[in-house]
Amino acid sequence: MEEKSKDHWALLNPGEENELEVFGYRTQNLRRALCLVTSILTCGFLLLVFYWKPQWRVWANCIPCPLQEADTVLLKTTDKFQRYMRKKVVCLYLSTLKFPISKNPEEPLVADRHSVINQAVLKPELKLQCVQVQKIRYVWNYSEKRFQKVGLLEDSNSCHDIYHTFGLGLTSEEQEVRRLVCGPNAIEVGIQPIWKLLVKQQSVKLHNLVEDHNKVQVTVMVKGKGLQELESRLLVPGDTIILPGKFSLPCDAILIDGSCVVNEGMLTGESIPVTKTPLPHSENTMAWKSHSSEDYRKHVLFCGTEVIQVKPSGQGPVRAVVLQTGYNTAKGDLVRSILYPRPLNFKLYNDAFKFIVFLACLGAVGFLYALGVYMYHGVSPRDTTTMALLILTVTVPPVLPAALTTGIVYAQKRLKKKKIFCISQQRINMCGQINLVCFDKTGTLTEDGLDLWGVVPTADNCFQEVHSFASGKDLPWSPLCAAMASCHSLILLNGTIQGDPLDLKMFEGTAWIMEDCSADYCKFGMLDSNTIIKPGPKASWSPVEAIAILRQFPFSSSLQRMSVVAQLAGEDHFHVYVKGAPEMLAKFCKSETVPKDFPQKLRSYTIQGFRVIALAHKALKIEKLSEVQNLAREKVESELTFLGLLIMENRLKKETKPVLKELSEAHIRMVMITGDNLQTAITVAKNSEMIPRGSQVILVEANEPEDFVPASVTWQLIEDQENGLGRNETYLNIGNSSVPDGTRGSCYHFAMSGKSYQVIFQHFNSLLPKILVNGTIFARMSPAQKSSLVEEFQKLNYYVAMCGDGANDCGALKMAHAGISLSEQEASVASHFTSKMANIECVPQLIREGRAALVSSFGVFKYLTMYGLIQFIGTSLLYWQLQLFGNYQYLMQDVAITLMVCLTMSSTHAYPKLAPYRPAGQLLSPPLLLSVFLNTCFTCIVQVCAFLYVKQQPWYCEVYRYSKCFLDSQSNFSTNVSLERNGTGNATLIPGSILSFESTTLWPITTINCIMVAFIFSKGKPFRKPIYTNYMFSFLLMSALGLTVFILFSDFQAIYHGMQLIPTLTSWRVLILVAVLTQFCVAFFVEDVILQNRKLWLWIKKECGFSSKSQYRNWQKKLAEDSTWPPTHRTDYSGDGENGFINPGYEDPEQIPRAKSELGGQTPEEHFWTRL
């Protein structure tokens, strides 16, 4: 264990997902020399150990020292995997630069006062210490005594700092300093050598993905020298670049002048144009990200995205300041997540290692047994060692570790044919354990496109008659019409209007048209870069000739709204139009303008499954165009006048209902996580039968503490609300429960909003597991909340799949055990799986293939284990009298049978129907262990009996004692004993130690045993198709069996000569065949009727009192026995008994943090009973 002394230890990336502990070490030459000598003496074995255990290498070669003096650092992850990495500390010298640098400690090297570079360079030596960890460079900060990341601008910079420090560019000297310290702006993925075949294909794809990033020509502003053209790899944080127009961004940058439209498909998965606005001018010292809250992304241009269109502000070209370079960028982070994926905590792979260790121990026993036998008989040390090593390698077939991936390879090929692509192959096996699937709603369960249904305008604080678009009537002119025509993020690109489908449908409903500003509109003071909206030929009469969009505040999923500042032609003042979630927008409107029946009207539409958008307006009291650019969003989006509701129809995809039904029949939980309205989500869930008919829906509403009132959570049956209960009655505590006893268990579903989830996470953390085991609807969820929810489900030991369209689901997709993106964009590499089918049919297909791959992997693993044990038993018996199988006997078992079985056993296709239970998720489960143990017993009994019984036959003689006489009478074999090695690595002594009645008897038994267990372990239904559908595997098994029987019963001297067998009586051969067939019948009966009998295991589980160790199972059991659960018509407060709990891990009200404490108990795969 490492000692965490103050100088020796530090944290890298504290609080982040990739947090690391770093320890300082200094290399000692004497230790290093001793390790080198030991490595030579052990033929490199020590180096192999050091490769596996880098911490041992550091401890052996180095001594602890303060980090400041270290030449080597040892890094350890702070997650549950506790992985170690060793890195060399590299020294950089600024004296190598071609211009003089001041050695005065008081004089900063770079103008940015926040930059770590000023604290990282030791003067007067001009030395800088750095380490590179997972492609990111860290430098030692002498002031703060810690390593800090470089290659980015510090977050502590304010808006004022960015404009005044970097707005005019860096000096050429500062650029050179930053290039040396930060490294090149390049995302370089080296192609692995041809011998590294396992990762070569991925590295080639990644190389092709990022190679163009490093070859972009950019225009940079250099202070005092004007504009310069240079290659993008020379960019440094703080450079000011000019955006010329259509442009692929080679770095992350902050927009400081002008606006632009970008395609962020590489990040979001949707090729929808996104408008970026310049960073606001602000004189305060607040950090620039905090100034814009969660919306700082609207000012940031991300690496890898495409600039489609630029709009200068009139003060010069569009400019941006380089924020991050290289692997610090958004694209670099994406590539790093592929190069260094998060380890899989899948018990299967840990169990496989334990199994291999057990077999290796068994081999060690055989090794000692062989040494004892051969030394007892006085065999030469060379031959004794050879034979002992042979039996040591027999028990652990070299292909055993690869057995767990064979099913994955075939499953991946089948998925590819179904247009489902995978970047994390090991996740396929994990898909076989999925028991909960989270779905996004819009674009996933429902159609991407929305159809306009109607608008409900307001007047005099009342809702007016609905204007239906189906009637064919034009939408009359009104402020509501102006809001629909202007409040959007659409752009005109090559004469085509592009943008968000919702915005596009809304705009088309007005029958207005969009065009670029021309000279005709300049008289209104409209800039050339403004977008102009004007009535189209089919639009209703309008007193307004045109509307110019002057400024846009883009839509934010956290704020749930967007707004624009516009100018009507002929007017000298400005208007604000806002659209967003009705519940959110109503808060920013003057109360007198919001109709009193707003909640009821909104609910009447959402309960029918409509998508509802609210629109609002206000006139700005400013007259100067220059003031518009300096307006704060908070000022713009306040004191609004409510205009009305836009009603849009969101139909279910035709594939949704059948797929959800299939998952339900397979007992796989389904959860909806959406950013849409709660009632709309509930309606969609009911229409899709995610919530079955007759089930109760309980609305969970939670409120933050206010003044002297603590945080509260209220439970209310949705049906009661539909009968007209008001808000005040909802909060009355009229009983513990009103859910009928017959509906307890899984017949009730909780529904809540993101706001309620946030409050419960913070103040009622003890309630969260109780809600999650029956929570089905989570609406108005932010991206951070989606990710947090998936993680909370995982803590309950669910295997979670997340299926989304990629827009706001990236965090949840990466967090899930299996993230499935329905996007066709480059962003799909951020999720584990990408489906080219834009519907959820891919989910059951993926689960089916995952189950088939898991069962196939288990089958091949069991087969190879039994193959090793069968050979081990046979070889051990022959060793007793200094004999062994011949080269061709081993060769047939190794190549003709085992190799072919391994290559084809896993190619059996998945069963078309999902079974209502999952396959075992671990190797160390009772059925699998019993299967291997009993089959080992069966083959041991048969081989031992045959070995002993053959000695009792009247025609038997000890051939190995009279080999010369016997061989002379049989053939002209050479009796010289020589050591040979066959193609599989098995060393044999031939031929005198091979030819015997024992080996002639045992070889057909062991060979047919191998064929037999391959058939028995090729389980078909319920997870795979029957074995006969795997034509190649069936043909190979039949061929191997036929060939073995042919060799057994043939009387050809050439065959016996080649296979090194002795002819025996036909009756003896028949007896051998009868023995193995009897063994097959017994083994098949035990495997199929007993070990694979799920009902039997459930009965045993019940009788023995075994219970699941999964958290969600335990909670379900507890809640089923709780007569007060689920609560309804009740309000709980954060101070009330066991329900009151303040989550100490809660920090940021805008985002749900990851819980820091590990949940007690074990992971879902840690016990066999979990799957039952």
In angstroms, what CA-CA distances link 123 with 89, 128, 177, 842?
A: 18, 9, 14, 60
Q: Are 446 and 649 in contact (CB under 8 A)?
A: no
Contacts of 1072 (CB under 8 A, 6+ apart): 946, 1001, 1004, 1005, 1048
Tell me which long-range contacts 35-42 makes (C-beta under 8 A, separation of at least 24): 35/60, 35/61
Contacts of 94 (CB under 8 A, 6+ apart): 101, 109, 121, 126, 127, 128, 177, 180
> Looking up tokens 């005019």, which residue turns up?
168
Contacts of 942 (CB under 8 A, 6+ apart): 1005, 1009, 1075, 1076, 1079
| Phi, then psi, of 980 in degrees rounded to 5 | -130, 165
By CB atoms closer than 10 A (0-12, 13-18, 19+), residue 179 is middle
Q: Are 775 and 749 in contact (CB under 8 A)?
A: yes
Is the N-terminal amide bond of 535 cis, ω within 30° of 0?
Answer: no
Task: Give 418's Cβ-side CA count (13 Å radius).
Answer: 23
Tell me if residue 468 falls in helix, strand or coil.
strand
Contacts of 110 (CB under 8 A, 6+ apart): 117, 118, 174, 177, 178, 238
DSSP state of 918: P
The beta-strand segments (E) located in 882-945 are none
- At position 770, the amino acid (one-letter code) is K
Active site residues: 440
| Phi, then psi, of 1132 in degrees rounded to 5 | -110, 145
Contacts of 1092 (CB under 8 A, 6+ apart): 927, 1019
Of 234, 219, 248, give the one whose Cα is nearest residue 182.
234
**Cα–Cα distance between 614 and 479 in angstroms, integer?**
13
Of 560, 607, 568, 566, give the one whose Cα is nearest residue 584.
560
* CA 644 centroid distance within chain: 41
**Cα–Cα distance between 447 and 449 in angstroms, integer?**
5
SS (H, E, C) 530-565: CEEEEECCCCCCCCCCCEEEEEEEEEECCCCEEEEE
> Looking up tokens 């709009």, which residue turns up?
311
**Cα–Cα distance between 1139 and 1137 in angstroms, integer?**
6
> Looking up tokens 């690109």, which residue turns up?
493
DSSP character string of 281-342: P--S-SBHHHHTGGGGGGGEEPTT-EEEEEE--SSSSEEEEEEE-GGGSHHHHHHHHHHSPP
1043-1081 exposure pattern, b = at least 16 Cβ within 10 A, e = fewer: ebeebbeeeeeeebeebbbbebeeebbebbbebbeebbe
**Cα–Cα distance between 430 and 851 in angstroms, integer?**
8
**Cα–Cα distance between 667 and 1172 in angstroms, integer?**
12
Tell me if residue 955 falls in helix, strand or coil.
coil
Task: Give 746's Cβ-side CA count (13 Å radius).
Answer: 13
**Cα–Cα distance between 1051 and 1069 in angstroms, integer?**
12
